[in-house]
């Protein structure tokens, strides 16, 4: 910079240098979010404000230009949606649309709906959910329209400082997504390797982004290792030739991250806002299996059991990972791409909220990173 002061004729060169250094875009990605069960229950009872869940991470989200999470619930009134269930499922998620106020006030701009709960209440539930998301000024990602289950989706575009990043979100789940999507006009965008590669190529040519992110909903639930890595090897190999970043969710627990062919695989992000994995949560449903209302006294007992479990037990399903992706003109800037852990806590009013494990970000796969599972030449996919 001193050259600008001593040699005025070099001012423009120096100015261009400083400007190029400041041209960046940062995206924060979070994991699974639901308002089902005890969260919605205490919203409705007036015990918890809509700001409470993300109050402790709002400043963290503000450090990025945009924030995106996985919204894992159908939105609407259970009485209106209950007749739209054609397939038997162990658990169905539905939440009051007003819960979206939590995300809006926290600064979340985009949610992926490409997950195995979007179709919990059929196509009516899908359309209702998409409409409610838009009402709150949030963009939905990862849905497709058309009878062809592999129909192209509308990519999400993040743009700032002349840098453009596109996101494509997919569900790679047979029972909860692919099987239920058949025969419907609207539903989650379904992942097929060959089809997705064509879609990525189409988006790159049409929109010319500086980087492209794939948000994948896949893996084995509650498995610490991200899915069945050996089974995903060929799929990951192909994605690594096309995408700059692959973000993962679905398992409800976190897993390590790694680089392969310069593509960052974030690993599973875990539960950003989700009740603890515990039997009481499955029972926390205002409608029983036979469609009858569960009494208030029964719900109160279930809530008591959940609260004690959430307060006293700590298992991996209470942990989550945020990733902050830094992009420049040439794509992902690895030395400025970081992560941070968070956890789900419950306060004395029985409000579930997200708490940063540390306010400090760690550069992914730096010397200080103890959770890096490999770099380009040696990782879960390949080790030479």
**pLDDT digit string (tens) for 302-337?**
999 999 999 998 888 999 999 999 999 999 999 999
Contacts of 174 (CB under 8 A, 6+ apart): none
CA Rg value for the chain: 21
The residues facing 159 across adjacent strands are 164
Instruction: Note whether 149 and 173 are within 8 A (CB).
Output: no
* Distance of alpha carbon 187 from alpha carbon 215, whole angstroms: 16
**pLDDT digit string (tens) for 142-165?**
999 999 999 999 999 999 999 999
Residue 46, Cβ density class (10 Å: 0-12 exposed, 13-18 middle, ≥19 buried): exposed
Intervals of the chain under pLDDT 50: 1-20, 227-228, 288-291
Residue 351: closest CA among 77, 98, 103, 40: 40
The residues facing 139 across adjacent strands are 110
Any idea how long the chain is?
384
CB atoms within 10 A of CB 200: 20
Q: Cα 139 from chain centroid?
A: 13
Contacts of 36 (CB under 8 A, 6+ apart): 73, 93, 94, 95, 275, 284
Contacts of 291 (CB under 8 A, 6+ apart): 82
Instruction: Note whether 107 and 62 are within 8 A (CB).
Output: yes
First to last CA, the chain: 43
Residue 216: closest CA among 267, 263, 170, 269: 170
Domain coordinates of the chain in residue numbers?
25-363
For the chain, give percent helix, strand, coil, nearest 5: 35, 30, 40
Half-sphere exposure for 41 (CA within 13 Å, toward CB): 26
CATH 3.30.470.20 assigned to 25-363: no
Confidence (pTM): 0.89
Residue 79, Cβ density class (10 Å: 0-12 exposed, 13-18 middle, ≥19 buried): exposed
Q: Read off φ and ψ for residue 183, nearest 5 degrees.
A: 85, 0
The residues facing 27 across adjacent strands are 66, 325
- Name the CA dihedral angle for 345, 351, 352, 354, rounded to a multiple of 10 degrees: -70
Across the chain, the runs of DSSP E, i.e. the strands, are 25-33, 66-71, 74-75, 94-95, 110-112, 139-141, 143-145, 156-160, 163-171, 186-188, 211-217, 245-249, 258-260, 263-268, 271-273, 319-328, 331-332, 338-346, 352-356, 362-363
């Amino acid at each position: 910079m001193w050259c600008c002061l001593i040699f005025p004729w070099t001012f423009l060169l120096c100015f261009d240098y400083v400007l190029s250094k400041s041209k960046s875009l940062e995206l924060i990605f979070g994991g699974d979010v639901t308002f089902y069960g005890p969260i919605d229950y205490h919203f409705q009872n007036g015990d918890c404000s809509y700001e409470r869940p993300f109050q402790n991470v709002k400043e963290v989200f503000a450090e990025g230009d945009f924030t995106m999470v996985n919204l894992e619930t159908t939105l609407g009134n259970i009485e209106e949606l209950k007749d739209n269930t054609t397939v038997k499922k162990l658990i169905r998620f539905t939440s009051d649309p007003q819960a979206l106020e939590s995300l809006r006030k926290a600064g979340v701009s985009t949610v992926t709906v490409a997950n195995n709960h979007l179709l919990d209440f059929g196509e009516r539930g899908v359309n209702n959910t998409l409409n409610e998301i838009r009402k709150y000024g949030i963009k939905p990602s990862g849905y497709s329209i058309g009878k062809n289950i592999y129909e192209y989706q509308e990519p999400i575009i993040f743009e700032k400082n002349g840098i453009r990043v596109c996101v494509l979100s997919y569900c790679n789940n047979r029972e909860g997504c692919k099987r239920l999507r058949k025969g419907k006009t609207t539903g989650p965008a379904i992942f097929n390797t060959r089809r997705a590669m064509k879609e990525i190529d189409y988006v790159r040519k049409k929109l010319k982004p500086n980087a492209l992110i794939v948000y994948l909903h896949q893996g084995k639930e509650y498995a610490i290792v991200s899915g069945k890595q050996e089974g995903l090897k060929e799929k990951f190999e192909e994605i690594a030739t096309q995408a700059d970043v692959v973000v993962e969710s679905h398992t409800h627990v976190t897993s390590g991250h790694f680089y392969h062919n310069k593509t960052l695989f974030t690993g599973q992000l875990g539960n950003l806002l989700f009740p603890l994995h515990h039997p009481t949560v499955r029972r926390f449903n205002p409608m029983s299996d036979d469609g009858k209302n569960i009494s208030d006294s029964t719900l109160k007992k279930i809530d008591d059991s959940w609260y004690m479990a959430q307060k006293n037990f700590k298992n991996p399903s209470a942990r989550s990972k945020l990733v902050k992706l830094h992009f420049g003109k040439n794509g992902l800037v690895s030395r400025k791409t970081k992560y941070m852990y968070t956890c789900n806590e419950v306060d004395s009013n029985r409000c579930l909220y997200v708490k940063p494990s540390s306010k400090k970000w760690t550069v992914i796969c730096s010397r200080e990173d103890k959770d890096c599972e490999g770099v380009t030449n040696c990782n879960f996919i390949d080790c030479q």
